[in-house]
Amino acid sequence: MILKSADNQLPTLPEPHSASAAEIARYIGEMAGSLAALAGAQRMQMRTYFLNMARVEAEMQALELSERDSERPPERARGTG
């Protein structure tokens, strides 16, 4: 049996070559959270703890990367300027 998120959907895997680092980190956080819920339901306390730590770290990384990307000036198109 595969557990799904509250909306009955598994997190969508981003395309590795076109996804940003923030999107990848967000996906990893979602998956770690799903695995932590699975481990918690089976009372696997240490696994739940470490998976939640991975989830929090991935969420913090995604936020940091998103903020960094939003502060970066847009790149100029080639041949202009």
Better-predicted residue by pLDDT, 81 or 17? 17
Q: Is 81 among the domain residues? A: no
Q: Is 38 among the domain residues? A: yes
Q: Is 44 among the domain residues? A: yes
pTM for the predicted model, two decimal places: 0.71
Q: Is 45 among the domain residues? A: yes
Domain that holds residue 49: 21-71
Q: What percent of the chain has pLDDT over 90?
A: 59
Q: Is 9 among the domain residues? A: no
Q: Is 36 among the domain residues? A: yes
Output the CA angle 69-77-14, nearest 5 degrees. 45
| Packed helices 45-71 and 21-41: angle between N→C axes, nearest 10 degrees | 160
pLDDT in tens, 61-76: 999 999 988 887 766 6
Q: Is 62 among the domain residues? A: yes
Q: What is the mean pLDDT of residues 33-38?
A: 97
Q: Is 28 among the domain residues? A: yes
- Would you give the distance in Å from CA 81 to the centre of its chain? 37
Q: Count the domains in the chain.
A: 1
